[in-house]
Amino acid sequence: MRSENIPVVVVGGGSAAFEAAVAAKQAGAPKVVMLEKAPEPEFGGNARFSHTGFRWVFSGGDEVRQFLPDIDDEFFSKLNLPAYSSEMFQADLQRVTQGRISKELSETLVAQSNSAMHWMRDLGIKWEIDSNVVIDGRYYFEPGLVIHPTGGVGGGLGQLMQWRDIASKMGIELRYESRLTALLGNDQQITGVRVSDPKEEYEIQTHSVILCAGGFQASAEMRARYLGANADLMKVRGSKHDTGEVLMMTIALGAKTAGHWQGAHATPIDSTYPDVEIGSKANRYGYPYSITVNTLGQRFFDEGEARHSYTYAKTGWAVLGQPGALAYQIYDQTTIPLLGNRYEFSTPIEANSIDELAGKIGIEPTVLQHTVAEFNNAVRKDVAFDATKLDGKCTEGITPKKSNWASPIDKPPYWAFSITGGVTFTFGGLQINTQAQVLNTSNNPIRGLFASGDIVGLFFHNYPSCTGQTRNVVFSRLAGRNAAAQGL
Ligand SMILES: Cc1cc2nc3c(=O)[nH]c(=O)nc-3n(C[C@H](O)[C@H](O)[C@H](O)COP(=O)(O)OP(=O)(O)OC[C@H]3O[C@@H](n4cnc5c(N)ncnc54)[C@H](O)[C@@H]3O)c2cc1C
Whether the model clears a pTM of 0.85, i.e. scores above it, the answer is yes
472 lines ligand 1 (CB under 6 A): yes
Asked if 150 contacts 127 with a C-beta cutoff of 8 angstroms, the reply is yes
Distance 264 CA to ligand 1 centre (A): 13
Q: What is the pLDDT of residue 486?
A: 82
Q: Are 387 and 371 in contact (CB under 8 A)?
A: no
180 in ligand 1 pocket by Cβ < 6 Å?
Answer: yes
Cβ atoms 150, 128 nearer than 8 A? yes
**Quick one: DSSP state of residue 102?**
-
Going from the Cα of 46 to the center of ligand 1, the distance in angstroms, rounded, reads 3
CA dihedral 128, 155, 464, 235 (to 10 degrees): 160
15 CA → ligand 1 middle, Å: 7
Cβ–ligand 1 distance for 235 under 6 Å, the answer: no
State whether the beta carbon of 45 lies less than 6 angstroms from ligand 1.
yes
Q: Which atom of ligand 1 is nearest to the CA of 17?
A: 25
The per-residue pLDDT for range 236-256, each reduced to its tens digit, is 999 999 999 999 999 999 999
Provide the pLDDT for residue 135.
86
Residue 174, number of CB atoms within 10 A of its CB:
20
The span from the CA of 11 to the CA of 21, in Å, is 10
Determine whether the shortest distance from the Cβ of 471 to ligand 1 is under 6 A: no
Which atom in ligand 1 lies closest to the alpha carbon of residue 245? 41
With a 6 Å cutoff on the Cβ, whether 237 touches ligand 1 is yes
Comparing CA positions, the residue from 86, 90, 112, 111 lying closest to residue 101 is 90
**424 C-alpha to center of ligand 1: Å?**
9
- Ligand 1 neighbour 19 (Cβ under 6 A): no
Query: Other CB atoms closer than 10 Å to residue 309's CB: what's the count?
Result: 24
Give the residue whose CA is nearest to atom 6 of ligand 1: 52
Residue of 18, 50, 470 to mutate, ligand 1, most atoms within 8 A of C-beta: 50
C-alpha 301/C-alpha 303 separation (Å) is 6
Sequence-distant (6+) residues with CB within 8 A of 254 are: 186, 187, 440, 441, 446
Does residue 15 have its Cβ closer than 6 Å to ligand 1?
Answer: yes
Does residue 52 line the site of ligand 1, with CB under 6 A? yes
What DSSP string runs through 412-465? SSEEEEEEEEEEEEES-EE-B-TT-EEEBTTS-EEEEEEE-GGGB---BSB--T
Q: Which residues pair with 438 in a beta bridge?
A: 432
Domain positions in the chain are 3-215+427-487, 268-422
Identify the residue whose C-alpha is closest to ligand 1 atom 48: 45
Pairing of strands 133-135, 138-140: antiparallel
* Ligand 1 within 6 A of CB of 466: yes
**Ligand 1 neighbour 454 (Cβ under 6 A):** yes
337 cis-preceded (ω within 30 degrees of 0) = no
Closest CA to 119 of 188, 242, 23: 23
Ligand 1 within 6 A of 425 CB? Answer: yes
pLDDT digits (tens, 9 = 90+) for 402-451: 999 999 999 999 999 999 999 999 999 999 999 999 999 999 999 999 99
Tally of residues, the chain = 488
Residue 488 half-sphere exposure toward CB, CA atoms < 13 A = 12
Pocket test for ligand 1, best of 9, 11, 46, 150 (most atoms within 8 A of CB): 46
Distance 293 CA to ligand 1 centre (A): 31
**Per-residue pLDDT at 133:** 82
Q: Verify whether ligand 1 is closer than 6 Å to residue 109 (CB atom).
A: no
**Whose alpha carbon is nearest atom 28 of ligand 1?**
45
Report whether residue 426 contacts ligand 1, using a CB cutoff of 6 Å.
Answer: no
The topology (CATH level 3) of 268-422 is Flavocytochrome C3; Chain A, domain 1 (3.90.700)
Q: Whose CA is nearest to atom 15 of ligand 1?
A: 468
- Whose Cα sits closest to atom 35 in ligand 1? 12
Is 217 close to ligand 1, i.e. is its CB under 6 Å away?
no
Q: How far apart are CA 47 and CA 19, in angstroms?
A: 12
Instruction: Give the atom of ligand 1 at the shortest distance from the alpha carbon of 12.
Output: 34
Q: Is the CB of 36 under 6 A from ligand 1?
A: yes
Distance from chain centroid for Cα 189: 32
Class of CATH domain 3-215+427-487: alpha beta
Write the single-letter amino acid at 61.
G
Peptide bond into 413 cis (omega under 30): yes
Which segments of the chain have a pLDDT < 70?
A: 151-154, 487-488
Distance, CA 8 to ligand 1 centroid (Å)? Answer: 21
- Angstrom distances, CA of residue 202 to CA of 36, 79, 205, 247, 479: 15, 53, 10, 20, 25
Q: Is 267 in the pocket of ligand 1 (CB under 6 A)?
A: no
